[in-house]
Every structure is written in C-alpha cells, then in structure tokens.
A and B are shown apart, each in its own frame.
Chain A
C-alpha cells in the first residue's frame, strides 16, 4: 500500500524548477487542473510572469503604446510543463524529468 504523500500547492508556486544539469529552468507560476472522475488532478504547470512587477510589464507589453519602451514592454511567454515531467520527490527542489528517462520502466 503506497503512502500518499502530500505537497502544499501554495508553496510550489514561485518555486524554481531545476533543469537536467541542475540549472534554474523556470519558475512555477500556475498549476492547471482538470477533472478526472470526482477528482481534480494536475494537468500541467505553467511558468510565466511571476509576481506583481512582472505582471505589470506583461500588461505594458500588450498595450500598443507602452510596448515600445525597451525595458518595460515585453510579453512574457508561458511554457507548460506536463505533470509527469516534474519530479516532486523533493518538493522544495522540483526538477524537470522526461518520462521516457524514468529508470524504473
């Protein structure tokens, strides 16, 4: 009987995601859920504008006028990370994994 392990969603947000070499790849900005029967399960993690200032810059990047201010107006791309690509065995240091590299297969 496997132990159900708990992770706090609100602490995952804003956590840096480490890439294969241990480099910081992104920050988890949002967790997208979808229904599965009676449950809601994680479909993917989004990285993108993190925090208030980045949101403002993202907004500026979307307006016709402010977009042209160099430092200010950039649109911030979000990259989805599928649920099985994130290894949460150490919840404080989530890192990217590709499901096909999972040695237990």
Chain B
C-alpha cells in the first residue's frame, strides 16, 4: 500500500457513509530498531496549509481558533479506527460533533438555517 496513491488526499467516510473530509495528513510513529508505523490519519485545513507553507498553517490555525466555532477543524483518527482503504477511506466513528465537522455544523446553525427554506 502506498501513502500518496492510496491514503493521502483520499476521501474519508464515516460509519454511516457520511463524508468527513480528505486525508490531509498522515502521522508516522518512529521507533527504535523497527520500521516506522502509521499511527493516525489527520483531517483538517491546517494540515493542508502546512503542506504549502508552515507560516500559512500557523496563521490559519490562529484565525480558525479566533472565529466561528473556535476550532481549527483538525481531527486525528488513530489507525486502529481505519477500517478499509478502497475507493474511500472508511473509518469507524460518527462524523457529527467531531472537529472535522465543527465548521460545517457552525455554518449550518449560524448562517444557513437563518436563510429561508434551508431545510
């Protein structure tokens, strides 16, 4: 299995098939005398920004913490909760309430629902 081809930037889907986000980052754990193992995948705009430039990531993180739901939207999912890698990456949790959904839910409650006909 390859990191770039099969894991990174792939769509992450929760237990119910809801879209959580893309795999924006992969955490490897370095070990003495043993090969590095995948510890977790990470979803979040800060991880994407960091791939462009670390300063952009720092700025984005500050901004996200200062506005809206006050969350930087980063969700780290331990590898043990990754159930399948295929067309999508399926994870064993429910999307609602996780930081990955923080902005979606905040925008839904504070902006979209205020407009007529949103449901």
Q: Which of A's residues lie within 8 Å of B, judged by CB?
A: 2, 4-13, 29-34, 36, 38-43, 83-84, 88
B50 close to A (CB within 8 Å): yes
Across the interface, do B2 and A30 meet the contact criterion of CB distance under 8 Å?
yes
Q: Which residues in A have their C-beta under 8 angstroms from that of B8?
A: 9-10, 13
* Contact code string B1-35 (vs A, CB < 8 Å = 1, else 0): 11111001000000000000000111111111011
Q: Which of B's residues lie within 8 Å of A, judged by CB?
A: 1-5, 8, 24-32, 34-39, 47, 50-51, 79-80
Q: Tell me what chain A mostly uses at the interface: helix, strand, loop, or mixed.
A: strand
Q: Which residues in A have their C-beta under 8 angstroms from that of B80?
A: 38
Closest to A84 in B: B35
Across the interface, do A88 and B3 meet the contact criterion of CB distance under 8 Å?
no
Known: A30-B4, A39-B79, A40-B79. A10 touches B36 (CB 8 A): no
